[in-house]
Chain A
Amino acid sequence: MSSAFNPVVQREFFGIVRSPKAFATLLALTITFSIAVLMRWPTDATVDLSGVQSIQVFRVFGYGLLAGVVFLVPAFPATSIVNEKNAGTLALLLNSPLSPLSIYFGKLAGVLLFALLVLLASLPGAAACYAMGGIDLKSGLGLFYFVLLLLVFQYATLGMLISSYVQSTDAGVRLTYSVIFALFFLTLIPNAFFPGGSGVMGTVAQWVRYLSPVPVVMQIMGQGGLGSKGLITSPGNMQFILFTLVSSLVFAAVTISRLNYRIFDQSRAQGVITDDRGLVARLLRRFLFIVDPQRRKPGIPWYLNPVMVKEFRCRRFGRSQWLFRLVALCAVVSMVLTFAAATSVTSWGTETIGGLMVILQVILIVVMTPSLTSGLISGERDGGGWELLRLTPLSSLKIVRGKLLSVLWTLLLVLMATLPGYLVMIYIQPQMWYQVNLVLVCLAWTVVYTVAVSAAVGSLFRTTAVATTVTYVVVMSLFVIPLLVWLGRGAPFGFEMVQRVLLINPVGAALSVIETPGFEHYNLLPAAWYVAGGFSALMFLVFGLKVWRLTRPV
């Protein structure tokens, strides 16, 4: 390797490629793409001159590849800077003659080269789609790969920006996936309720929609922009490209500006609590906080599981003041939505409002749960706490119970906070109370299901960052794949196929019960509950067995 070659690129790229995880990922992706194409490959001898069949194959392949990029790419940049910082090697790099710019671009190039490998692994599949005919090389395949490259660039710069701010690798992973998930899905919601772009709200919603790659990809796949109506289809390719490029450059610039002494310039927390402050400060804090985070805590009472209390106390988000804020936010959002429907500000029906509330809650659950649950065991093992926990007389059952309860209580509080919205809905349409009940049961199952999957998957890994990444990928896949299949209802997927796939999680059932447009024809209950119950029981069993095994002498 010549001396002109950036040594950071060499280390980053080969570091990623050498890991068995990366090899397994590439192998799995290549196999998945091939299988996806083969599954939809025509088996009869007739020639399809319309190109419909090839478009169907291309859609399956394209959405799969998009999901692959969204799930896999952020994991590497999200840990890239914080890992170096915690290992002490970032200080060595900054102390070397390498400039912050070359360090940054070295790291970025490492991630981008790996992402390029992922895209290269998909080329045989893409070539097969193209060979079937009916897909334009420039406006179809070419534009699709260009969008993917832009996304990779944006996610890599975003992940590295977040990585430069956080203090631990798992926090980097959690935050990066949450932001990307928000950019990918949340940005679509306003436009779904203000379609057409009329009025200020409509224009804002239209612009927010350009932040997500989904409308552009759907347009490429020949499905029209998501949320578009009639002739007012405007996927906003240019706006998306512009936003992605500008935001990536801003992310990169901010990260580079942080690659100096300031990244380490952080004093230790002094730990001054409210009880030790002056009278004015004490009164002010008690006035401003519902639950003062800096107050002196009482001992753990005998009736509470100490592991559960410990989990709440050592999680920043688990602390009461944060929980109260989240619960308050959820309550306000649900009330506002229902109020909007009740006062006929919009033309939404209660079904649409109900669907929106369900989607918002599911997004909250899917984003929060892996973050809270994946590190239940790996976090302890990472920080050395597991050894200490094993030394105590706590049984594995008590540890499992305490850890799971800490997550379940948090999520149930969030769910409960949306109850006022549902109550207003029932007040407007009393006949909906039965549907609302069924929806709430579905959501409760969603919580249990997500917690079970996250806990089981997270417990299989030793390090928190890996556990969090894999858990996010698995949980998101379980929730996104059925939605992608639902988007392809009619073609390429038939009614039966979509109905079966929607049973994978209880969200489809909730949306069908509340008669959300597009879901009203599916009959998913009570089968969805049985599937969720059975799968959750299996996952809890895996989690329990793993904890039991880890508490045994080896």
Chain B
Amino acid sequence: MSDQQPIIETVDLTKRYDEFTALDSLSITVHSGQILGFIGPNGAGKTTTIRILVGLLKPTSGTARIAGADCLTESRKIKRLVGYMPDDFGKYSNMRVGEYLDFFGAAYGIGRRKRIVRIDEVLEIAGATYMKDLFVDALSRGMQQRVAIARTLMHDPQVMILDEPANGLDPQARIDMRTMLLRLADMGKTLIVTSHILPELARVCDIVAMITKGRLRAFGTLDEIMRDIQQRRTFEIQLVDHDQVDRVVALVESWSREMNHESEVTGATTETMVRFTTGLNDREITPLLTHLVGSGEAIAQFREVPTDLEDAFLSVASGSHGGDAPQTQPATQEAAS
């Protein structure tokens, strides 16, 4: 999916407003064809980063480059390279969708004939062909998002930056939006997508950047971030009889002591289940199952409770993963490769 040259690269990107630091030494690298999910609570610095990337904001220090062009000094190049869809739709009254796209096409210097063809193409990609003659200010939120995607595509940008594209959409529209993002990635576009709806991002993103209070807390593929953040994993042992629960709790605790590893073990008699959290990896945990079976316990299931992007994000946002300390970037290079 990605080649060797990074298409987006920020180095120590910092933005300060007097005493307030909106963005603090952000360094990320994204390669061509990747979808980067940009996650953070409100006011984390996501939009600040995006606005610097598209040349709307001037960084206090650091550099940002897209396809080799400096986002600050080569803004004309950047405008051709990037398609930005802000959270705010930017509607014009009394204008039809076709006229709206025609205006932006003309503003990007696309010739009239090519523009007429292009309008139909982008509307088709965005699934908005039927909206061509509708008035822009009469569109619903979901329709607006589609037209905004079409507008962003008009000049065929290499990189697309979408700020909260799933915001305010109903479940069906979210699914459609996800499909559309994957389609854009298939077309070879590099995408940066911010969203509060984390499961949406988890399903489409190749890499994820988590940012809080202006600082990058985690960056890499979802698996890498999980590995890094979720150093303690939760396992569930499903038993057959209720009277097994206390015995198995004791067995797990004694085994953990033997392994010199601290585990939190809890038993739920009504569920005939034992849960424990541990920092052990797959290789280290395997002997526990052998130990339990060897002790004569009947085990119905032995499974790891899956963690998702939401858990990881909450872990980062709550400061359990390093708090305000400089984040670890487990996979900056790996994600890039």
Q: Which residues of A contact B (CB under 8 A)?
A: 168, 268-273, 276, 296-302, 306-307, 309-310, 313-316, 319, 383-385, 387-394, 553-554
Shortest Cβ distance from residue A396 to the other chain B in the assembled complex, whole angstroms = 12
Contact A271 B56 (CB under 8 A): no
Residues of A near B103 (CB, < 8 A) are 300, 306, 309-310, 313
Q: Which residue of A lies closest to B52 (CB)?
A: A553
A210 to B192, CA, bound (A): 65
Known: A313-B94, A387-B90, A393-B80. A553 touches B116 (CB 8 A): no
Partner of B94 from A300, A309, A319 at Cβ < 8 Å: A319
Partner of B92 from A276, A302, A383 at Cβ < 8 Å: A383
Known: A271-B133, A271-B135, A271-B138. A316 touches B94 (CB 8 A): yes
A270 to B55, CA, bound (A): 37
Shortest Cβ distance from residue B78 to the other chain A in the assembled complex, whole angstroms = 9
A319 to B95, CA, bound (A): 10
Instruction: Return the CB mask of B94-130 against A: 1 if under 8 Å, else 0.
Output: 1110110011111111011101100000000000000
A178 to B96, CA, bound (A): 28
Residues of B near A302 (CB, < 8 A) are 111-112
Residues of A near B298 (CB, < 8 A) are none
Is residue B302 contacting chain A, with contact meaning CB distance below 8 A?
A: no
Partner of A306 from B58, B75, B93, B107 at Cβ < 8 Å: B107
Residues of B near A310 (CB, < 8 A) are 92, 95, 103
Contact A553 B72 (CB under 8 A): yes
Shortest Cβ distance from residue A296 to the other chain B in the assembled complex, whole angstroms = 7
Shortest Cβ distance from residue A137 to the other chain B in the assembled complex, whole angstroms = 52
A297 to B109, CA, bound (A): 18
Contact A314 B95 (CB under 8 A): yes
Identify whether the interface residues of A are mostly helix, strand, loop, or mixed. loop
Partner of B86 from A272, A306, A387 at Cβ < 8 Å: A387
Q: Which of B15-63 contact A (CB under 8 A)?
A: 54-58
A298 to B115, CA, bound (A): 11
Is residue B88 contacting chain A, with contact meaning CB distance below 8 A?
A: yes
A460 to B198, CA, bound (A): 40
Shortest Cβ distance from residue A331 to the other chain B in the assembled complex, whole angstroms = 25
Residues of A near B133 (CB, < 8 A) are 271-273, 276, 296
Contact B57 A553 (CB under 8 A): yes
Q: Which residue of A lies closest to B77 (CB)?
A: A393
CB-based closest 5 A-B pairs: A384-B88, A306-B106, A384-B90, A268-B138, A392-B107
Q: Which residue of A lies closest to B134 (CB)?
A: A271
In the assembled complex, 16 residue pairs joining A and B whose CB atoms fall closer than 8 Å, in A order, are A268-B138, A273-B96, A273-B133, A299-B106, A299-B115, A300-B103, A313-B94, A314-B93, A315-B94, A383-B91, A383-B93, A384-B91, A387-B90, A388-B86, A389-B107, A394-B107
Shortest Cβ distance from residue A398 to the other chain B in the assembled complex, whole angstroms = 9
Is residue B79 contacting chain A, with contact meaning CB distance below 8 A?
A: yes
Which of A301, A314, A389 gathers the greatest number of chain B CB atoms within 10 Å?
A314
Starting from the known contacts A300-B103, A306-B106, 9 additional A-B residue pairs (CB-CB under 8 Å) come to A297-B98, A299-B115, A299-B116, A300-B112, A306-B107, A387-B90, A391-B55, A392-B79, A392-B104
Is residue B84 contacting chain A, with contact meaning CB distance below 8 A?
A: yes
Shortest Cβ distance from residue A117 to the other chain B in the assembled complex, whole angstroms = 35
Residues of A near B112 (CB, < 8 A) are 298-302
Residues of B near A300 (CB, < 8 A) are 102-103, 106, 112
Residues of A near B107 (CB, < 8 A) are 306-307, 389, 392-394
Is residue B76 contacting chain A, with contact meaning CB distance below 8 A?
A: yes
Partner of B96 from A271, A298, A383 at Cβ < 8 Å: A271
Residues of A near B80 (CB, < 8 A) are 393
A296 to B72, CA, bound (A): 40
Q: Which residue of A lies closest to B114 (CB)?
A: A299
A273 to B106, CA, bound (A): 23
Contact A313 B116 (CB under 8 A): no
A553 to B133, CA, bound (A): 35
Contact B88 A387 (CB under 8 A): yes
Contact B138 A269 (CB under 8 A): yes
Shortest Cβ distance from residue B154 to the other chain A in the assembled complex, whole angstroms = 10
Contact B108 A393 (CB under 8 A): yes
Q: Which residue of A lies closest to B89 (CB)?
A: A384
Shortest Cβ distance from residue B71 to the other chain A in the assembled complex, whole angstroms = 9
Shortest Cβ distance from residue A453 to the other chain B in the assembled complex, whole angstroms = 25
Known: A300-B102, A316-B94. A269 touches B75 (CB 8 A): no
Residues of A near B138 (CB, < 8 A) are 268-271
A150 to B141, CA, bound (A): 45
A306 to B109, CA, bound (A): 9
Known: A271-B138, A391-B79, A394-B107. A314 touches B90 (CB 8 A): no
Residues of A near B115 (CB, < 8 A) are 299
Shortest Cβ distance from residue A322 to the other chain B in the assembled complex, whole angstroms = 11
Known: A302-B111, A384-B88, A388-B104. A297 touches B99 (CB 8 A): yes
Known: A302-B111, A314-B94. A553 touches B56 (CB 8 A): yes
Instruction: Return the CB mask of B311-337 against A: 1 if under 8 Å, else 0.
Output: 000000000000000000000000000
Contact B90 A388 (CB under 8 A): yes
Residues of B near A307 (CB, < 8 A) are 107
Which of A269, A388, A392 gathers the greatest number of chain B CB atoms within 10 Å?
A388
Known: A315-B94, A393-B108. A553 touches B79 (CB 8 A): no
Contact B55 A314 (CB under 8 A): no
Residues of A near B98 (CB, < 8 A) are 296-297
Residues of A near B111 (CB, < 8 A) are 302
Residues of B near A553 (CB, < 8 A) are 55-58, 72, 75
Residues of A near B82 (CB, < 8 A) are 391
Q: Which residue of B lies closest to A306 (CB)?
A: B106
A272 to B133, CA, bound (A): 7
A385 to B137, CA, bound (A): 12
Which of B84, B90, B96, B103 gathers the greatest number of chain A CB atoms within 10 Å?
B103
Contact A385 B91 (CB under 8 A): yes
Partner of A393 from B76, B93, B105 at Cβ < 8 Å: B76
A394 to B99, CA, bound (A): 18
A297 to B102, CA, bound (A): 10
Residues of A near B104 (CB, < 8 A) are 388, 392
Shortest Cβ distance from residue B256 to the other chain A in the assembled complex, whole angstroms = 56
A423 to B141, CA, bound (A): 54
Shortest Cβ distance from residue A483 to the other chain B in the assembled complex, whole angstroms = 35
Partner of A554 from B57, B96, B105 at Cβ < 8 Å: B57
Q: Which of B241-299 contact A (CB under 8 A)?
A: none
A469 to B121, CA, bound (A): 43
Shortest Cβ distance from residue B80 to the other chain A in the assembled complex, whole angstroms = 7
A313 to B134, CA, bound (A): 14
Contact A393 B56 (CB under 8 A): no
Residues of B near A315 (CB, < 8 A) are 94
Which of A299, A306, A394 gathers the greatest number of chain B CB atoms within 10 Å?
A299
A459 to B139, CA, bound (A): 28
A301 to B102, CA, bound (A): 10
A394 to B79, CA, bound (A): 10
A315 to B75, CA, bound (A): 30
Residues of A near B88 (CB, < 8 A) are 384, 387
